Amino acid sequence: MSELKSIYRWLEGQRLKVLGALVATACGIIFSTLIPLVNQTAIDMVIKQTTEGEQTIISKIVLSVSTFQGQLLMCGFLIILFTIINALFNFLKARWSAEASEDLAKSLKDKMYNHIQQLSFMYHKRAETGDLIQRCTSDIDTIRLFLSSQLVEMGYSILIFVIIFTFMLTLNVKFALVSVCVTPILFTFCFIFFKKVKNSFQEADESEARMSTMIQENLTGVRVVRAYCNQEFEIEQFEKRNSDYRAKSYVMTKLNALFWSSSDFLSLFQIAITVIYGAYLSINGEITLGTLQAFISYESMIIWPVRQLGRILTDLGKTTISAKRINEVLSEPIEFEEGLQKPDIKGTIEFNHVGFEYEDHDRILKDITFKVKCGQTIAIIGRTGSGKTTLMNLLMRLYDYTDGSIKIDGVELKHIDKKWLRRHIGAVLQELFLYSKTIKQNIAIAKKDAVDEEIHSVAQLASVHHVIEEFQEGYDTIVGERGVTLSGGQKQRVGIARALINECPILIFDDSLSAVDTETDIVIRKALKERSKDVTTFIIAHRVSTVKDADQILVLDKGRIIQQGTHDELIHQGGLYQTFWEIQNEKEAEVLSLVNQGSEV
């Protein structure tokens, strides 16, 4: 019921159209049920010329014509009239239900996309992309299809049973009860089938989501698959997921086959009972031939919609599962809060005994304490997995610290509005993402109204302007999905240009110079230093040559700051930083030696 309530809530603004479709359905049914009464009148009162029994409005209209031919023509005219009116109401039913379902699908997709955009980074880290895509597309489409046809069809099945059964009772109560004796069994069978197919659909839907996730991951990571010649392994894994989806879908197919064959038998058995018992009553003179014909027509009209109820309930089961999966996303809390501060951010930052752990209590950072003055450059270096990126994620509030305090210009970080904070931080993240757009559009994402001069200026600072100019389309070059047409260094430099375009008071470079050569690294850092004298800059790097000019260097190991100071101070202290320095100098010396030997040869 909670899922159905959700669908009703999502229908806000469209409920009048759904109600109109149901009213049109009821009106169409009423006019279609009048046609057998016209046939009854034609047989009993026109052809057989009997006036026994109570006359109806239809019989009075027909008998108001004096001639035999005129009465038959009047019957034909009434049948055509009722058919046209029924068709008109069916058109209105289809139109209003289609409009309501399409509008709901659009609004629900907008709602889902908007909500997903505001979910926390932590949620996206644990969620599967393929599964989210399916919830935003296939699951919403399941709801749309149900509302466009099955909801009205459900109303049609219920209304046609109630209306026609009422008409049948007015003709002959005993015959009416016999004519629907199998219907309760068919209803019960439909609901049993509904419960079974609901569970089966959930398993199939989740299996399809896992398959979609695998397809998405393989298309995204196509370079890795090709690089390691992993095609056969991936094909084998996909075949397993596909086979699992097929097996679960096949269970649904078998359930459908069982239902349709059984319901066909019950429906035809009910019609047989009606015909046999009606013939018996007609022979004994308890009902007229016209009444028998009307009952047989009504039975055909009533039994097949009731049988269709099983298919409708199947779709209802799918719809409730889809609504549940959508609700699971919409019930996730968004990360943005109202009423937080929007202070003037200049760049003075203070970490005081900061700690952080994930939801599974995996402690990542412990007792982090340091202070940064406005305009300083802070370098962070350490082994892989020491917590460098996580530290910067705390500063951007992609995660919220669990212990201690972080202040920016004297204001507690948790009291600052997240959107406001992130507008004042330019970040080149470790996992750089470029959209399948032009280079110009990718750079200007952070500033939609940026003019060409601004874009060219930041591209020059990132030492990528001359590279872009060499492309045939220049800044209008399409970079392809995830920037696939650019090299690693080119992508990182485009990312740096994107971070610089807003002139933020805080800049973060998360290992963003690792893919460029040492000469380009020096050029970029020199350009940044000249341009960003009043900007607080954080540089995460593995190369000591990249960080040695920083005002302050933090050395992280196992989530703790184990060393802190300038380059000159740290290389004389001993410890991890000195080890990094010696190893990298030794490597550079080996490379230079090999180069010299090669030139002598």
- With CA atoms as reference, report the closest residue to 404 among 363, 349, 366, 361: 366
pLDDT for 163 beyond 90: no
Give the highest mean pLDDT range of 106-115, 156-165, 177-186, 359-368. Answer: 106-115
pLDDT digits (tens, 9 = 90+) for 556-583: 988 899 999 988 888 888 788 888 888 8
What pLDDT shows up at residue 142?
Answer: 87
Give the highest mean pLDDT range of 89-103, 205-219, 329-343. Answer: 89-103
pLDDT for 68 beyond 90: no
What pLDDT shows up at residue 594?
Answer: 46
What pLDDT shows up at residue 91?
Answer: 92
CATH code of 98-330, in short, is 1.20.1560.10
20-24, 248-252, 369-373, 483-487, range with the lowest pLDDT: 483-487
CATH superfamily, domain at 430-503: P-loop containing nucleotide triphosphate hydrolases (3.40.50.300)
Other CB atoms within 10 Å distance of the CB of residue 461:
22
* Angstrom distances, CA of residue 587 to CA of 543, 545, 578, 590, 598: 12, 13, 14, 5, 17
What pLDDT shows up at residue 591?
Answer: 45
What pLDDT shows up at residue 578?
Answer: 86
Other CB atoms within 10 Å distance of the CB of residue 81:
14
CA–CA dist 140, 36 (Å, integer): 41
Tokens for 371? Answer: 């202070």
How many helices (H) does the chain have, and how many strands (E)?
A: 23, 10
pLDDT for 598 beyond 60: no
CB-based contacts of 448, cutoff 8 Å, min separation 6: none
The pairs formed by 8-15 with CB atoms below 8 angstroms and a separation of 24 or more are 10/104, 10/107, 10/108, 10/111, 11/100, 11/104, 11/147, 13/103, 13/107, 14/99, 14/100, 14/103, 14/104
Q: In which band, very low, low, confident or very high, does the pLDDT at 529 lie, cut at 50, 70 and 90? A: confident
User: Which SS3 state, helix, strand or coil, does residue 552 take?
Assistant: strand
pLDDT for 353 beyond 60: yes
* Higher pLDDT among residues 165 and 531, named by residue: 165
pLDDT digits (tens, 9 = 90+) for 9-58: 888 888 898 889 888 988 888 888 888 888 888 887 777 766 555 567 77
Residue 377 parent element (H or E) = strand 377-382
8-17, 66-75, 158-167, 525-534, range with the lowest pLDDT: 525-534
Other CB atoms within 10 Å distance of the CB of residue 340:
16
Task: Supply φ then ψ for residue 586, to 5 degrees.
Answer: -65, -40
What pLDDT shows up at residue 407?
Answer: 93
What sections of 284-383 are H helices per DSSP? 289-330
CA–CA dist 289, 36 (Å, integer): 12
pLDDT for 589 beyond 80: no
463 conformational bin, left if phi > 0, alpha if psi -120 to 50, beta if neither: left
Percent of the chain with pLDDT over 90: 9
What pLDDT shows up at residue 52?
Answer: 57
Tokens for 492? Answer: 């990182």
**b/e sequence 219-257, b meaning 16+ C-beta within 10 Å:** eeeeeebeeeeeeeebeeeeeebeebbeebbebbeebbe
Tokens for 361? Answer: 């209590």
Q: Calculate the dihedral angle through the C-alpha atoms of 445, 446, 448, 452, rounding to the nearest 10 degrees.
A: -80
Report the relative pairing of strands 536-540 and 377-382 from DSSP bridges.
Answer: parallel
Taking the model in full, what pTM does it have?
Answer: 0.71
Sign of torsion, CA 504 505 506 512? positive
pLDDT digits (tens, 9 = 90+) for 410-463: 999 999 998 889 888 888 877 777 888 888 888 888 788 888 888 888 888 888
| Mean pLDDT, rounded, for 321-338 | 86
Q: Chain-centre distance of CA 354, in angstroms?
A: 36
* Higher pLDDT among residues 248 and 306, named by residue: 248
What pLDDT shows up at residue 224?
Answer: 67
pLDDT for 393 beyond 80: yes
Q: How many alpha carbons lie under 13 Å from residue 72 in its C-beta half-sphere?
A: 6
Percent of the chain with pLDDT over 70: 91
138-142, 246-250, 522-526, range with the lowest pLDDT: 522-526
What pLDDT shows up at residue 582?
Answer: 81
Q: In which band, very low, low, confident or very high, does the pLDDT at 149 lie, cut at 50, 70 and 90? A: confident
Q: In which band, very low, low, confident or very high, does the pLDDT at 483 lie, cut at 50, 70 and 90? A: low
* Higher pLDDT among residues 592 and 314, named by residue: 314
Domain ranges of the chain: 98-330, 430-503
What pLDDT shows up at residue 534?
Answer: 80
Q: Which residues pair with 509 in a beta bridge?
A: 428, 539
Other CB atoms within 10 Å distance of the CB of residue 274:
25
CA–CA dist 395, 407 (Å, integer): 9
What pLDDT shows up at residue 481?
Answer: 66
Instruction: Kindly report the average pLDDT of the chain as a whole number.
Output: 82
487 conformational bin, left if phi > 0, alpha if psi -120 to 50, beta if neither: beta
Render 554-600 in DSSP notation, one character per residue.
EEEETTEEEEEE-HHHHHTT-SHHHHHHHHHHHHHHHHHHHHHHHHH
pLDDT for 405 beyond 90: yes
Report the relative pairing of strands 363-372 and 560-565 from DSSP bridges.
Answer: unpaired
480 conformational bin, left if phi > 0, alpha if psi -120 to 50, beta if neither: left
* Angstrom distances, CA of residue 479 to CA of 435, 472, 483, 484, 539: 8, 12, 5, 6, 26
Query: Could you tell me if 345 and 502 are in contact, meaning their C-beta atoms sit under 8 angstroms apart?
Result: no
CB-based contacts of 508, cutoff 8 Å, min separation 6: 392, 395, 396, 425, 426, 427, 428, 429, 499, 537, 538, 540
Tokens for 86? Answer: 């029924």
Tokens for 485? Answer: 């047409």
pLDDT for 508 beyond 80: yes
34-48, 211-225, 415-429, 466-480, range with the lowest pLDDT: 211-225
Query: Could you tell me if 28 and 89 are in contact, meaning their C-beta atoms sit under 8 angstroms apart?
Result: yes
What pLDDT shows up at residue 228?
Answer: 62
**Sheet hosting strand 349-357, strand order edge to edge:** 363-372, 349-357, 403-408, 411-412
| Mean pLDDT, rounded, for 364-383 | 90
What pLDDT shows up at residue 452?
Answer: 85
What pLDDT shows up at residue 513?
Answer: 67
What pLDDT shows up at residue 50?
Answer: 64
Residue 380 parent element (H or E) = strand 377-382
| Mean pLDDT, rounded, for 253-264 | 78
Sign of torsion, CA 338 344 347 352? negative
* Higher pLDDT among residues 505 and 600, named by residue: 505
81-95, 328-342, 445-459, 475-489, range with the lowest pLDDT: 475-489
